[in-house]
Structure 1
Amino acid sequence: MAVDFRYRELGYLALDVSDIERSTKFATDIFGLDLVGEAADGARFFRAGMGHHDLILAPAAAPAFARSSWKLETDADVDLAFAHYQRLNLAPAWISDRECAGLSLEKAFRVVEPVARTTFEYFSKMSQISSPRSNTLTKFQGGKHYGLAVPNCREMTDYMTENMGFLVSDYVEGWLGSLLRAFPNPNHHSFAPLQFPGGKTGFHHLAFMVQEIDDIGRLFNRVKKHDIKIQFGIGRHPTSGSIHLYLYDDDFFVWEYTLGMEQFPETGAREARRMSSAPENFDLWGAVPDREFAGRNPPFLVSP
C-alpha cells in the first residue's frame, strides 16, 4: 500500500537510562552532543544540529528504548499520516498542546505499529536553535538511524513497506536483517529491523552521521582514552558503504558514528539487494562485532 505522506528524516529518539548523570556525560564528553536542557520530569534533551533535540534521555529504573519520532515534510503530511493510520485502525492519538510545547513541537501524534508494538511519533515542525553548538568534539552531518532486534524481521519489513511508507534498500538472506529508508529521504536507511537467534529482542543501536573521517578517528582515540568498550569497527558496511564505529555505553546501548552512506534518488533508484549472511562478508574491512556483551541489549518498551 502506497502512503500519501512524505518523510523528511528521523527526527529524534527517546531512551530511558538508568543513571542520567552518567549517560549525560557519555552523550556530551564521548559522543559529542550538546546538552540543550532538562524537562520537569528529569528528561534531558541533546542536539547535534539546529533542531531543538535529536535525542531525549530520561531517568528510569531500567534502560529501554521508548520511541522514535519522525519528521514529515509539511503539516499537511502530518494530517495525511494521521488519517492513514486511522484507516488502518491503529488508533493514532494526538499529543496534547502542553506535551508538544515541552517537546518544542508544533503538533504531533503517536501510533503503535502492530508487529513489535513500538511507538512511532510524527511531526513536521520542531523549534530551531540559531546559536552554534558549543560542543566542538564532532562535526555532525545531520542524518540519523537506529536498529531494533525484532521478533520477525520479514514480518516487520513487510508491514513497514506495505503500510508505513518505507522502502527496502538491502536485506540479508534469510531475512536476518533489512535496511529501510523513509521515502523520499535519500539515506540508505533510517531504520534497521534485525532478527537475532533465539528470538532475542531489544534495542540494537542509534547512529549519527558525521562529516569527516577525522570525526571517527578522534572518537576511536577518545574511547580508548576513557576505556569505552567498542562494539564494532572501525569498519565499512558492504550494504550502505558507510565507514562505521560502534561503542557501548554503561547501559549497553550501542552508539554509532557513520560516514559515507549511499544516497538514493527519489526516482529511478536501484532495486534492493539480497546480501550474504556469511561472516566473511559482514564487513569490507574485516571488522568483527563484539560477542562478549551481545545479549545485553536494553529492551524496547512494548505498548499494550
Structure 2
Amino acid sequence: MGADIIRTGRVVLHVADLERSRKFYVDALGFIETETRGGELYLRGLEEHNHHSILLKQSAAPRVEVISYKVMSDGDLDRLEELFTSKGMKTSWMEKGSQHAIGRTLRTQDVSGMPVEFYAEMDGAERMLQRYDLYKGARVQRIDHFNCMVRDVEKAYEFYTEELGFKCSEYTAAEDERIWAAWLHRKPSVHDVAFMNGKGPRLHHTGFWLSDQLSLIHACDVLASMGYTGNIERGPGRHGLSNAFFLYLRDPDGHRIELYNGDYLTSDPDFKPVRWDINDPRRQTFWGHAAPDSWFDEASEVTDLFAGEDTESEKVMAVGEPKLKQRKPTFVI
C-alpha cells in the first residue's frame, strides 16, 4: 500500500526582513499571525485549524527552504522514506521537537530537485473562519497549491502520478502530445501541485484560496492604498486552465503568491483530465490578456537540502543555468 498524501501543507520561505514581511502578509493580505519566535514568523489563513501554512524565516538570502505535504499518519512517512530510498533519493528526518509546532518530518528532493517534506502532525490553532471582525486585506482562507518550475515536466508528472498517487486534472500538450505543464491533485480540487517548464528547480508560486472573487478585488484596493502597487504582477483575471479567478503578487523579497478562487471538484473516479493545446491563448488567461515576461522568467530559488553530498538530487540542482535576473518593482521597504 502506498503512502496516503492528503494535501498541500505549508511552505517555508527565507526573507530578508521579518517586519517588512509582516506588514505585507498580515497587514495587507490579512493572514493570521499565529506567533513570532526567534526570527521566525508563523502565519495561517482564517479557515485553517493548524498552527501555520507559511513559515517565514529571517535570512540573508531570500529563497525557498522547502514545500510540504500533509499525510494521513506517521506510518505514511515511513512508507515514503522507503519509496524515495528505493529510487536512490537522499532523505533526512526532522524528529519531533526539532521544529516548532510540527511533528516528525521527512525531507527529500524529488526527481526535479525540489526540496519537499512530508508530515502527519502539526499543533492546532483557533480557526478564525467566523471571526469576521478579523477579516482584512485579501481575507485569505487557506493554502491551496504549489506551482513548480522544472526542466522536465513529463518526468515530474510520471513520478507524482505513478509513485505518489497524484491525479491529473488538466494539462498542456504540444502537437506531439508532449506534456508541457500539468496540474496534479490529492485533495478533490484542481491541484495541490502544478509543474511548468522553465529554469528549475524553482518555486514559481504558492497559491492561497479565497472565499470569493470580491476578496481579490478588495485585496488590490488595499494593496494600492498601502503603496504596494509595484507588488501586483498579474491580474485580476480568470485562467482557462482550472477556471480559477487569480491575482499574482510578489512579496517584498520577490516570492510569488497567487490569490485564488473558483476552481472545481475532481473527486469522481471517472473524471478525465482536460487537455489544452499549447497554442491556445485562453489556457493562461481566459479573457485573453498576456502575462508579463517576469511571470515566465522568474521564480524563487530553492535550497539544496543535501549540498556537498553526491546524490542524484544534488546533481539535478547543480546543472549549470544562468541565475534568474532580479525583478525590480518598487517594493515597499
TM-score by length of 2: 0.80
Instruction: State the shift of 1:119 in Å.
Output: 1.9
Change (3 A) 1:89 1:68: same
- Separation in 1, partners of 2:31, 2:243: 24
Aligned equivalent of 1:53: 52
1:7-86 aligned at under 5 Å gives the runs 7-40=5-38, 42-48=39-45, 49-86=48-85
Aligned equivalent of 1:96: 95
**SS of 1:283's equivalent?**
coil
Aligned equivalent of 1:227: 228
**SS of 2:222's equivalent?**
helix
Aligned length: 294
Aligned equivalent of 2:154: 154
- Separation in 1, partners of 2:4, 2:240: 28
Change (3 A) 1:44 1:7: same
**SS of 1:160's equivalent?**
helix
- Separation in 1, partners of 2:283, 2:69: 32
Output the amino acid matched with 1:227.
Y
What per-residue deviation string (whole Å, max 9, x for no partner) do you get for residues 235-259 of structure 1? Answer: 1111211111111222221111111
Change (3 A) 1:207 1:263: same
- Separation in 1, partners of 2:144, 2:287: 23
What per-residue deviation string (whole Å, max 9, x for no partner) do you get for residues 73-104 of structure 1? Answer: 2333333323333333324332123214x1x1
**SS of 1:176's equivalent?**
strand
Change (3 A) 1:252 1:106: closer
- Separation in 2, partners of 1:212, 1:61: 36
What per-residue deviation string (whole Å, max 9, x for no partner) do you get for residues 1-37 of structure 1? Answer: xx61222211100111122221121111222111222
Unaligned runs of 5+ in 2: 306-313, 315-333
Q: Which moved more, 1:150-159 or 1:252-261?
A: 150-159
Instruction: State the shift of 1:227 in Å.
Output: 3.2
Aligned equivalent of 2:181: 177
Q: Is the 8 A contact 2:2 2:164 kept in 1?
A: no
Instruction: State the shift of 1:210 in Å.
Output: 0.8
1:1-304 aligned at under 5 Å gives the runs 4-40=2-38, 42-48=39-45, 49-100=48-99, 102=100, 104-113=101-110, 115-130=111-126, 132=128, 135-137=134-136, 138-174=138-174, 175-182=179-186, 185-196=187-198, 199=199, 202-225=202-225, 226-229=227-230, 230-291=232-293, 295-303=297-305, 304=314
Q: Is the 8 A contact 1:64 1:203 kept in 2?
A: no
Unaligned runs of 5+ in 1: none
Change (3 A) 1:43 1:281: same
- Separation in 1, partners of 2:304, 2:256: 20
Q: Which moved more, 1:47-56 or 1:142-151?
A: 142-151
Instruction: State the shift of 1:112 in Å.
Output: 1.8
Change (3 A) 1:131 1:168: closer
Output the amino acid matched with 2:208.
F
Runs of 4+ in 1 over 3 A off after TM superposition: 131-135, 138-141, 274-281, 292-296
Q: Is the 8 A contact 1:170 1:275 kept in 2?
A: no
Instruction: State the shift of 1:281 in Å.
Output: 4.3
- Separation in 1, partners of 2:204, 2:14: 14
TM-score by length of 1: 0.87
